Amino acid sequence: MSDWCILDVPGVLAWMAREYPGRPVHWVGHSMGGFATGLAHNNHLIACQLCIAALSGYWRHMAVSEGYRVRVLMGVAGPMIVRARGYLPGVLMGGEDMPGPAFLEWRRWCMTPDFLFGDDALTEKSNFARFNAPIRFAQVEDDVWGTLAAVEAIARRSRAPRTARSGLFA
């Protein structure tokens, strides 16, 4: 998970700067695509950002039934499945198959109240403080992962004001 945030996102930003010099980068990110830029060392290349359901994945921020499902899957079943198969089948999380190491890192973040900010090995989290672009957070009302609490938790880590207005954080 962290590789996608600290290697791939900076790679995209560097490519944009190289291919379109002098043009502003307007980033729209959903879920991980919204918080991944905070970990990028070159996030200063972003002129503005809109986050759609960017969230803290801590399981207790989720809708109650989903939170407990995730707690059982990530806390108990997932690690056993990854040890047996080397990956987590996507059907279990409603997406694509996830490489074992990525799942185990994601699991660690989701089981920690401070989400990725509780990961002492993730030194790139200091890049969040250097992200200066105007940023807005949108919360989708029926998103069982991206609840208001989950979106607010990640928004508090940015320079964005934390006041809700019609589901948007301005």
Euclidean distance between CA atoms 134 and 136, whole angstroms: 7
Q: What does the pLDDT read at residue 95?
A: 86
pTM for the full predicted model = 0.88
* Helix residue ranges, H only, 4-163: 9-19, 32-39, 64-72, 78-85, 100-110, 148-155
Domain 2-58+121-169 belongs to what topology? Answer: Rossmann fold (3.40.50)
Q: What does the pLDDT read at residue 13?
A: 98
Q: In what order do the strands lie in the sheet with 25-30?
A: 25-30, 46-52, 135-138, 168-169, 164-165
Q: Where are the domains of the chain?
A: 2-58+121-169, 63-110
Q: What does the pLDDT read at residue 164?
A: 44
The one-digit pLDDT tens for each residue of the chain (170 residues) are 999 999 999 999 999 999 999 999 999 999 999 999 999 999 999 999 999 999 999 999 999 999 999 999 999 999 999 999 999 999 998 889 999 999 999 999 999 999 999 999 999 999 998 898 999 999 999 999 999 999 999 998 886 433 444 455 54
Q: What does the pLDDT read at residue 162?
A: 37
30: β partners = 52
- Structure tokens of 35? 């918080």
Q: What does the pLDDT read at residue 23?
A: 97
